[in-house]
Amino acid sequence: MEEEKILRKLFLGFIHIHILHHAKEHPIYGSWMLEELRGHGYSISSGTLYPILHNMEEEALLYKEEKNVGGKIRKYYTTTEKGNVVLIEARKKAYELFKEIKD
């Protein structure tokens, strides 16, 4: 459906902001972030989220650390200084937009 495609594109931006926000508070990993986003009503698959995390790491918005958790390697991501600059700007814009459209 065309509307769904457009919404997905919009939500991708929101999802990036969620990731930067949470990874700034504490290191996050994929399945934790999936649950978080689902709690906000986004139906996103790991096949969509994981490449986003990977790209954000390549863009130096996130810093990756691998930790051994019960014999399994888990990738943890933390927001970098650059990611934080982006988050602050995105937050400003999101708030500005929210104020305008909320009613």
How near is the Cβ of 39 to Zn ion at its closest, in Å? 8
**How many residues of this chain bind Zn ion (CB under 5 A)?**
1
Q: How far is the CB of 93 from Zn ion (least distance, A)?
A: 17
Q: How far is CA 27 from CA 23, 56, 61, in A?
A: 5, 14, 13
Of 18 and 24, CB closest to Zn ion = 18
Which CB atom, from 19 or from 80, has the smaller least distance to Zn ion? 19
Residues 2-61 that bind Zn ion (CB under 5 A): 18
Rank residues 28 and 80 by Cβ distance to Zn ion and give the closer one: 28
Number of C-alpha atoms within 13 angstroms, CB side, residue 71? Answer: 0
Shortest CB 53 distance to Zn ion, Å: 14
- Least distance to Zn ion, CB of residue 24, Å: 11
Residue numbers at the binding site for Zn ion (CB under 5 A): 18
